[in-house]
Amino acid sequence: MPRAIILDRDGTLNVDEKGYTYKLEDFRLYPDVIPALRRLQQKFLLIVISNQSGIAIGRYTQKQAKAFNSKLDRVMKENGVGIAGFYLCPHAPEEQCACRKPNTGLLMQAKLDFKLTLPKSYVIGDSFADVGLAKNAGCAAIYLERGSTIDEKKARERADYAAKDLTDAAQWILKGE
């Protein structure tokens, strides 16, 4: 059964300066993303799981969010990186859905879709919700210290590893292989 690297999108793969990144003209990957994912994809499936509450509050549409994912997917492919799947939660936090991180609904769907071995998989993200998703699903949690998050200290303490960037995260994962 395959193992996966579960990646957050905004603030992990792409720069998220304004809070709700959905405009194609705002698309900008962090410089370390492509090289790190090239290394990781040699041993893991790459899957993106993203909370997109901007849809629920009317900031943008699901179509716009999917167009952003399509651009991300295209840029990845052009650079030799294959994303196996994209999963997004369109709900606001107060809706208390099963798919919004740290809940495991989307990750369980990915597990079914790809027959994943979760205890040998990793979640990488820049928020406490990403760390919570990993813990709730039985995956290893890597907290990316890309910027500030409200619960940064809690995320760092609860994560299995706190990485300064995606290169650092990839090195830590592959060192344990």
Q: Any idea which residues carry the catalytic annotation?
A: 8, 10
CA distance 135 to 113: 20
CA distance 3 to 21: 28
Query: pLDDT by residue for the chain (177 residues), tens digit each?
Result: 899 999 999 999 999 877 789 999 999 999 999 999 999 999 999 999 999 999 999 999 999 999 999 999 999 999 999 999 999 999 999 999 999 999 999 999 999 999 999 999 999 999 999 999 999 999 999 999 876 666 777 787 889 999 999 999 999 999 987
CB pairs under 8 A, 24+ apart, for 153-158? 154/128, 155/127, 155/128, 155/130, 155/131, 158/128, 158/131, 158/132
Count of the separate structural domains present in the chain: 1
pTM of the model: 0.95
* Domain region containing 107: 4-175
> What's the pLDDT at 142?
97
CATH of the domain at 63: 3.40.50.1000
Q: How far is CA 78 from CA 68, 101, 137, in A?
A: 15, 29, 31
Are the C-beta atoms of residues 147 and 126 closer than 8 Å to each other?
yes
